[in-house]
Amino acid sequence: MKTTFRQSMSWLHTWGGLWFTWILFAIFLTGTLGVFDDPISHWLREKGKIGEFTPLTAEQRADAVRKAQAYLQEKSPRAEFWTIGLPDDENPELRVFWRADDDAPVHRLRLDAQTGRELPPGTARETEGGHHFVHMHFEFHAGMAGIWIVGAATVAMLVALVSGIVVHKKIFTDFFTFRPGKGQRSWLDGHNALGVLTLPFLFMISYTGLIIFWSIYMPAGILARYAGDEDAFFAKLNEGPPPRPMQFADAPVHELASLMQRGEAAIEREAGFVVVNHAGDRSAAVRIFGRFDPEAETDRLVGRSNGSALFDGVSGETIDVQKPNTVRGGNVLQTQRTMNALHFVRFGGYPMKWLYFLSGMAGAAMLATGAILFMVKRRKKSANEFGGATPRVYRIIEALNVAAIAGLSLACIGFFWINRLLPLDVAQRGTREIVLFFALWLLTLVHAGLRPPLAAWREQLAAVATLCLALPLLNLATTGDWLFAALARGDGETAGVELTAIAFGLIFAAALRQLQRRMAKPAVDTRIDEKTGAPANDVAPATGGR
């Protein structure tokens, strides 16, 4: 039997889409929340209550770097790298990071900028902040393995977009077609309208996402044309100084505070980070990075940078200076950088961030409706794709749908609750928050596996709606700060997070109400529940409100 192009694409769209939809939904939801990682961090760290951060003076910065260098020298005199993060608005403490060698774990600690001592747990609400969502988005907190999973899913997304366009011959008419309350037909209309509405955004965000990690995902060119020497390749591409390989000869690290001052003078901007590569080795190099300025240059896509100055880490000799917002490298590199900036929405300020937020949520909703549509269709009439195992496979897909869509939403809003409820003085608090986030997500999967599908949907949607709507009250109860206080002092970030949570709470409550209406209708088709083993009134309503 000959299949047409559209039939093959329909098959590819259905099955390629299904197996990746759960991962893709997670990537879209967390990435969209990540658009507002700064306001989310602001809320999670109670910065609205703590008040404005007083920037350090030049002398205080030099002193902080001296303290950090003494600490790192004692902890790890030889290291692949040391990084010193100077206190700033987002992180008011002095931060140090180091890694002894390639295989060792990265250590990260917070120090008191005045004394140089480790801060005991409980002195501040230690949290990964909004970056948690960004890390979920591109690597699921799983390092290189996570980056590859996200990359594979992104390619699947591109394939699903192409095959989706082929399947929908009436793409323009479909966009203006929405038939609510018609069960399966409504899910399809919703899926189509959301997909067509956000199509250019979806192509852009998926493709540019792959381009960010191009050298990891597609290293063939560097392997074949540069014999895999990435350092040499990137030095040439970025028109920077040549790489400095390890020399395996001990040499003391130059005094960093004076290098920082020289670096700040050279780039005409305050330092944000001091990085020492190959600390303790004769090949050591020190790079002073300019402080990130979110307000600057929001009207340009190309050539945004914080500036940096590079010094020989032993002699202190200047190797290279790049001033902030200068362009280096050729047109192709600028193209790639522009694609990065498009992905990270590093332009256009808040209006553009909101546009990305809405487009990203529409994309997530498109994925969710697609996954739900798959099952709505098959609850009505089993397509029997897996022979005798079909009911079992459907049951697993139902559970994964609930856990991936409602369950992840629950874990995301739950992260805000974990942040406020976890005691301040537990060790490794930032990591604990993330572990609890995953535990909550896993719990939603267990719940979805134990409960009948529609009951699982109902209960998890209700939980999401409750946690979203009650977020301002949680904040009030645990910190004494909340929406109205934030609005009164003009703290748009705190108020924005809580108002957005309320908006989501209302959306989830509306979804819940819709679901309960359907569940209240009498059973139409009882044939299916023999297969799924679910009670009749749990299955039948999904056959559509005909």
Q: How far is the CB of 241 from other proteins (least distance, A)?
A: 15
Q: How far is the CB of 154 from other proteins (least distance, A)?
A: 9
Both tokens assigned to 219: 């290293």
Counting DSSP H helices and E strands in the chain, the numbers are: 24, 7
User: 198: which residues sit within 8 A by CB, 6+ positions away?
Assistant: 359, 362, 363, 366
Q: How far is the CB of 334 from other proteins (least distance, A)?
A: 10
- Comparing CB distances to other proteins, the nearer of 3 and 315 is 3
387 contacts other proteins (rule: CB under 8 A): yes
Beta bridge partners of 289: 273, 308
Q: What is the footprint of other proteins within residues 120-179 (CB under 8 A)? A: 155, 158-159, 162-163, 167
Q: How far is the CB of 211 from other proteins (least distance, A)?
A: 6
Q: How far is the CB of 449 from other proteins (least distance, A)?
A: 22
Both tokens assigned to 266: 């050279």
Q: How far is the CB of 10 from other proteins (least distance, A)?
A: 6
Pick from 287, 284, 286: nearest CA to 247:
284
Q: How far is the CB of 161 from other proteins (least distance, A)?
A: 9
Q: How far is the CB of 75 from other proteins (least distance, A)?
A: 37
Q: How far is the CB of 191 from other proteins (least distance, A)?
A: 13
Please provide residue 110's backbone torsions phi and psi, each rounded to the nearest 5 degrees.
-110, 135
114 contacts other proteins (rule: CB under 8 A): no
383 contacts other proteins (rule: CB under 8 A): yes
Q: Which of 148, 214, 344, 354 binds other proteins (CB under 8 A)?
A: 214
Q: Which residue has the tokens 């946690």?
A: 467
Count of residues making up the chain: 546
- Comparing CB distances to other proteins, the nearer of 332 and 520 is 332
- Comparing CB distances to other proteins, the nearer of 7 and 173 is 7
Both tokens assigned to 369: 């409706």
User: 15: which residues sit within 8 A by CB, 6+ positions away?
Assistant: none
Q: How far is the CB of 182 from other proteins (least distance, A)?
A: 16
Rounded-to-integer distance, Cα 110 and Cα 442, Å = 30
Residue 385 near residue 210 (C-beta atoms within 8 A)? no
332 contacts other proteins (rule: CB under 8 A): yes
Q: What is the footprint of other proteins within residues 6-35 (CB under 8 A)? A: 7-12, 14-16
Stretch near other proteins under the rule CB under 8 A, chosen from 172-180, 206-214, 364-372, 452-460: 206-214
Q: What is the footprint of other proteins within residues 476-495 (CB under 8 A)? A: none
Which secondary structure element, helix H or strand E, spans residue 430, and what is its range?
A: helix 429-450
259 contacts other proteins (rule: CB under 8 A): no
217 contacts other proteins (rule: CB under 8 A): yes
218 contacts other proteins (rule: CB under 8 A): yes
Rounded-to-integer distance, Cα 250 and Cα 542, Å = 70
Q: How far is the CB of 236 from other proteins (least distance, A)?
A: 5
Stretch near other proteins under the rule CB under 8 A, chosen from 89-97, 210-218, 348-356, 486-494: 210-218
Rounded-to-integer distance, Cα 268 and Cα 66, Å = 21
Please, what is the Cα angle at 104 between 103 and 106, to 5 degrees? 125
Q: What is the footprint of other proteins within residues 290-329 (CB under 8 A)? A: 329
- Comparing CB distances to other proteins, the nearer of 58 and 389 is 389
- Comparing CB distances to other proteins, the nearer of 187 and 233 is 233
CA dihedral 150, 151, 153, 159 (to 10 degrees): 160
Number of residues that bind other proteins (CB under 8 A): 50
Residue 527 near residue 509 (C-beta atoms within 8 A)? no
Indicate the residue type of 210: L
Q: Which residue has the tokens 């409980």?
A: 122
226 contacts other proteins (rule: CB under 8 A): yes
Both tokens assigned to 30: 């967390």
- Comparing CB distances to other proteins, the nearer of 83 and 163 is 163
Longest dimension (CA), the chain: 82
CA 210 to chain centroid, in Å, comes to 14
The gap between the terminal CA atoms of the chain, to the nearest Å, is 35
- Looking at residue 200, the DSSP 8-state letter turns out to be H
Q: Which of 117, 236, 300, 392 binds other proteins (CB under 8 A)?
A: 236
- Comparing CB distances to other proteins, the nearer of 57 and 225 is 225
Contact residues toward other proteins (CB under 8 A) are 1-3, 5, 7-12, 14-16, 155, 158-159, 162-163, 167, 207, 210-211, 214-215, 217-218, 220-222, 224-226, 233-234, 236-237, 329-333, 335-336, 339, 377, 383-387
